[in-house]
Amino acid sequence: MIRVFLSNPDTGELTLGGRELIATWQESNTLNIWVDLEGESDSIDEELLGGFGIHPLAIQDALRPRHPPKMERFDDFLFILLRGLDADTSGIDFGVIQLSLFIGDRFLLTRHAKPSTSVNWMIGKIKRGNAIAKERPGSLAIRLGNRLARRYVEILLELEPRLDEIEEQMFKQPDDKLLAELTGYKSQLRKLTRIANYHKQIATRLRDVGDSFIGTELSHEIVDLYEQIERTESLAQLHYQISNDLTGGYLGMSSHQLNRVMQILTIITVIFVPLTFLAGIYGMNFENMPELSTRGGYFAVIAVMAVVAVCQLIYFRRKRWI
């Protein structure tokens, strides 16, 4: 799908259409254009991007299914590669897509293989009002980046109450399912931290160095972008630490319960060792065993065994082993 938005920055006039609007833009020296490429074949994307003078190496990076987020400056455009959440993501169990942005003086090109919620949000915003049509392509790119970064913050904020619930359940009804859930969270949070670190490098460069294709008038928006990414990184690290602590606490509680069970079994074994010894002696049935002819021998042995067991229980109790 190819969506094209042609805008006049002087009048705010906006035209929505398809690939045919590119020719209109090429004939003008004042119009701005945003071309969004979604789910097209690599050959079509390569042809269209090449028509805007995009460097082949930048196109190659944009077409790769997996590539770390980056920012690279070329003579005629600025290339920013971001990793956003896909349209199916609604929680911490997220999927990602590559979002490539090519920013020039009068054009913004975006390319993504799957639907992008951030891009759809921007398109909806444009359709609701033409005020945004007066903005430069660099401004639209920063808006997209802000929306992309904000989605990460949203799913992290949604995770916090669930971690609180797990902590309460862990002390009331510990379950291996909780451990599996925490392990899954840790894996996703590690990915989030890594993605945020890549994005932070881009935002830091935009904030500290800037770029002519973005413009100095967007300094506040860039600072906001940096803050959103920094917040994503800090929340991901915080939630990872909480998940790690809860995992350690669960394993510690499980180990403690296992130790208690082993302690009880050991005490039972120790109690029965002398009793088994006495029973073994008087179960040998030798002919010349004096106790065998004693009238009350059976009851005497039982009494001795009972006294031995009680004494051991009293000793273990005083040692606070039971």
Same fold across 2-252 and 259-318: no
Neighbours of 66 (CB within 10 A): 7
Confidence bin at 228 (pLDDT 50/70/90): very high
Chain position carrying tokens 């797990």: 166
Instruction: Give pLDDT, residue 133.
Output: 64
Average confidence (pLDDT) over 59-82: 89
Residue 8 pLDDT exceeds 90: no
Mean pLDDT, range 223-230, rounded to an integer: 91
Mean pLDDT, rounded, for 216-239: 88
Place of tokens 């074949």: 41
What are the residue boundaries of the structural domains of the chain, listed by start? 2-252, 259-318
Angle between helices 219-281 and 176-208 (to 10 degrees): 150
Q: Residue 284's pLDDT is what?
A: 80
Residues in the chain: 322
Contact 153, 235 (CB under 8 A): yes
Of the chain, the end-to-end C-alpha distance in Å amounts to 72
Amino acid identity of 185?
Answer: Y
pLDDT interval class at 194 (50, 70, 90) = very high
Contact 273, 305 (CB under 8 A): no
Question: What's the pLDDT tens digit per position in 76-132?
Answer: 889 999 998 888 888 888 888 899 999 988 889 999 888 888 888 888 888 776 566
| Burial (Cβ within 10 Å: 0-12, 13-18, ≥19) of residue 40 | middle
CATH architecture, domain defined by 2-252? 2-Layer Sandwich (3.30)
pLDDT value of residue 116: 86
So what's the pLDDT on residue 256? 67
pLDDT-derived band at 209, boundaries 50, 70, 90: confident
Tokens of 113: 């293989």
- The residues, any chain, with a CB within 8 Å of residue 288's CB and separated by 6 or more, are none
Average pLDDT over residues 144-167: 89
- Give the highest mean pLDDT range of 88-97, 148-157, 245-254, 265-274: 148-157
Cα–Cα–Cα angle for 189, 193, 199, rounded to 5 degrees: 140
DSSP assignments along 228-249, one per residue: HHHHHHHHHHHHHHHHHHHHHH
Q: What is the pLDDT of residues 49-60, one digit of tens each?
A: 888 888 989 989
Pick the CATH number of 259-318 from 3.30.70.260, 1.10.10.10, 1.20.58.340, 3.40.190.10: 1.20.58.340
Whole-angstrom distance, CA of residue 141 vs CA of residue 150: 14
Residue burial 205-221, b: 16+ Cβ < 10 Å; e: rest: ebeeeebebbbeebeeb
- pLDDT of 213 reads 74
Q: What CA–CA distance (Å, rounded) separates 74 from 131?
A: 29
Is the Cβ–Cβ distance between 236 and 153 less than 8 Å? no
Rg of the chain's alpha carbons, rounded to an integer? 35
Residue 28: its pLDDT value, please?
83
Taking alpha carbons only, the member of 3, 54, 6 closest to residue 30 is 6
| Centroid of chain to Cα 205 | 24
Picking from 47, 77, 51, 46, the residue whose alpha carbon sits closest to that of residue 62 is: 46
Supply the mean pLDDT for the chain: 85
